[in-house]
């Protein structure tokens, strides 16, 4: 069967669920796309300024920041502190046991640069690897569309990070959590966390882990004792600054390098910090015939945040990469 | 009520969360049947706010109100009728 690529973005007719209109040459996402208005974006900035310029008092930190040490989160931390210098930030780097040494150095460097408190969040490494093994072997542990958003391995890793950063914000009574998701990865710039929503989020991820066959799940989930039973004595809001600021990855990388960020030199086009990522993409492609970054990249192209040719290049994966085989071995998975 | 159901079904299909032949019933759990998760829920909320010119209070985001087509429709009706 011939493959037709959307004329506007990078999604193609071979991806399950994608249809290309023969008349327009566009995929259904491009056909229904409505750009974010300048007025709406301006409103987001006013709201973000208001929140970060006057954080509620009483918390140990103002912001719990999810820092991977890659380009996006390093830049977001740097810019956040530059624009809101009074913020007291706890930057949390999750050690998924596959982060590169360079990304650890980068994270620590950017914490020193921004006078943020650095925290390396480590969980039981053997159990983590077993969980990633189960994610790799699982099918349909996540809902339909989640498969387009990220690989099963990355969905698992990101969900753990979310649960643990929320837990940290609750335990330190910090009002804000910042994730440096790209505008292709999320649509909501602000998410206010309420008790029912927290309980629901926790239950959903618990269900995903259970479907994968993960027996010991509590370590990955928000500690229920920290979820307030009555009315919230402090509100926690998740903020995604890249839905407010313009997103220009090459410019971010340049600025990061200027202030001391080092490129770890991974061959993976889609991650500058995680050694697991390329294997996760390969595993996902084999299971669902979906490139885990296709939707993210397509959205960035649609929004005008990335050139189409650059996005197409990022879809190329070297399946024979030695690092992929190494990860496979470390996860006790047989080579296909 | 059925108009709201159709709007939601249409949104879920257009965004690729639901396939064309899905027979989602009004009391089926959207999360347990794997149609949405917490992130997609927020996209749905955004769509509903725009579509019906309403603001959905975060306190309303509970499984009772937002995990089924019937629950969502009831919540929208409540908000649009003040």
Residue A314 to chain B, least CA–CA distance (Å): 23
- State residue A320's pLDDT score: 61
pTM of the full structure: 0.90
- Angle separating helix axes B38-52 and B2-14, nearest 10 degrees: 130
Window B:8-27, CB contacts with A under 8 Å: 14-19
**Shortest Cα distance from B16 to chain A (angstroms)?**
6
- The reply to whether residue B62 touches residue A200, judged by beta carbons under 8 angstroms, is yes
pLDDT for A233 equals: 59
A228, two tokens? 């307030």
- Residue B46's pLDDT is what? 85
Q: What is the pLDDT of residues B56-80, one digit of tens each?
A: 888 888 888 999 999 999 999 999 8
Nearest CA in chain B to A27: B14
Residue B71 to chain A, least CA–CA distance (Å): 15
The 10 Å Cβ neighbour count of residue A40 is 10
Contacts of B18 in chain A (CB under 8 A): 144
Residues A97-119 pLDDT 10s: 999 899 999 999 999 999 999 99
Judged by a CB distance cut-off of 8 A, whether residue B62 touches chain A is yes
Residue of chain B nearest A143, judged by CA positions: B34
Residue B39 near chain A (CB below 8 Å): yes
A201 has a chain B CB within 8 A of its CB:
yes
Chain A: give the shortest CA distance to residue B14, in Å: 7
Chain A residues near residue B35 by CB distance under 8 angstroms: 143-145
What does the pLDDT profile of chain A (336 residues) look like in tens digits?
Answer: 688 999 999 999 998 888 899 999 999 889 988 898 999 999 999 999 999 999 999 899 999 999 999 999 999 999 999 999 999 999 999 999 999 899 999 999 999 999 999 999 999 999 999 999 999 999 988 877 788 889 999 999 999 999 999 999 999 999 999 999 999 888 889 998 888 888 889 999 999 999 999 999 999 999 999 987 766 556 899 999 999 999 999 999 999 999 999 988 776 666 767 889 889 999 999 999 889 999 999 999 999 999 999 999 988 866 667 778 889 999 999 765
pLDDT the model gives residue A47: 97
CA atoms of A320 and A33, how far apart (whole Å)? 36
Which of A149, A197, A204 minimises the CB distance to B61?
A: A197
Cα nearest neighbour of B13 on chain A: A17
Give the tens place of pLDDT for each residue, B2-57. 788 888 888 888 777 776 656 788 898 888 777 887 778 888 888 898 899 998 88
Residue closest to B58 by CA, chosen among A244, A201, A225 = A201
Q: Between chains, do A144 and B34 touch, taking CB under 8 Å as contact?
A: yes
CA distance A184 to B43: 13
Q: What is the pLDDT of residue A272?
A: 65
Chain B residues touching A148 at Cβ < 8 A: 16
Q: Where are the beta strands (DSSP E) in chain A?
A: 63-66, 89-95, 117-122, 176-178, 190-193, 236-239
What is the reported pLDDT for A335?
63
Strand partners, A66: A92
Of the candidates A307, A303, A308, the one whose C-alpha atom is nearest the C-alpha of residue A29 is A303
How much is the pLDDT for A322?
73
Nearest-neighbour CA in chain A from B46: distance (Å) = 8
Number of Cβ within a 10 Å radius of residue A30:
19
How many CB atoms within 10 Å of residue A187?
A: 18
Q: Which of B35, B38, B46 minimises the CB distance to A200? A: B38
* C-beta of residue B18 within 8 angstroms of C-beta of residue B24: yes
Please give the interface size between A and B, counted as residue pairs whose CB atoms are below 8 Å apart.
69
A144 with B15: Cβ contact below 8 A: no
């Amino acid at each position: 069967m011939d493959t037709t690529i959307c004329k506007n973005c990078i999604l193609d007719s071979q991806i399950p669920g994608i249809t290309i209109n023969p008349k327009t040459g566009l995929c259904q996402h491009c056909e229904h796309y409505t750009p974010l208005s300048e007025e709406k974006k301006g409103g987001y900035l006013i709201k973000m300024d208001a929140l970060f310029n006057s954080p509620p008092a009483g918390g140990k930190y103002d912001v719990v920041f999810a820092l991977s040490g890659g380009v996006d989160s390093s830049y977001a931390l740097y810019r956040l502190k530059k624009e809101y210098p009074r913020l007291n930030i706890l930057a949390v780097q999750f050690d998924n046991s596959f982060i590169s040494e360079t990304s650890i150095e980068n994270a620590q460097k950017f914490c020193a640069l921004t006078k943020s408190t650095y925290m390396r969040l480590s969980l039981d490494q053997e159990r983590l690897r077993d969980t990633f093994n189960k994610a790799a072997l699982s099918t349909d542990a996540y809902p339909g569309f989640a498969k387009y958003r990220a690989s099963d391995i990355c969905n698992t890793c990101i969900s753990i990070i979310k649960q643990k950063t929320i837990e940290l914000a609750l335990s330190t009574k910090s009002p804000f959590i910042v994730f440096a998701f790209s505008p292709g990865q999320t649509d909501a710039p602000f998410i206010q966390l309420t008790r029912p929503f927290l309980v629901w989020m926790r239950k959903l991820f618990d269900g995903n882990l259970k479907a994968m066959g993960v027996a010991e799940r509590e370590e990955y989930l928000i500690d229920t004792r920290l979820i307030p039973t009555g009315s919230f004595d402090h509100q926690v809001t998740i903020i995604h600054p890249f839905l407010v600021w313009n997103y220009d990855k090459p410019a971010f990388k340049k600025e990061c390098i200027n202030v001391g960020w080092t490129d770890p030199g991974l061959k993976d086009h889609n991650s500058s910090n995680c050694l697991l990522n390329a294997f996760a993409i390969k595993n996902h492609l084999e299971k669902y015939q979906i490139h885990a970054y296709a939707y993210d990249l397509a959205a960035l192209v649609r929004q005008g945040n990335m050139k189409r040719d650059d996005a197409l290049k990022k879809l190329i994966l070297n399946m024979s990469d030695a690092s992929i085989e190494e990860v496979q071995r470390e996860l006790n998975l047989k080579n296909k | 009520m059925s108009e709201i159901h159709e709007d939601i079904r249409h949104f879920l299909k257009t965004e690729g969360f639901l396939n064309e032949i899905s027979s989602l019933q009004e009391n089926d759990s959207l999360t347990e049947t794997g149609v949405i998760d917490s992130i997609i829920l927020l996209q749905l909320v955004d769509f509903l706010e725009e579509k019906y010119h309403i603001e959905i209070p975060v306190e309303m985001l509970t499984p009772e109100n937002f995990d089924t087509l019937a629950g969502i429709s009831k919540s929208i009706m409540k908000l649009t009728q003040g």
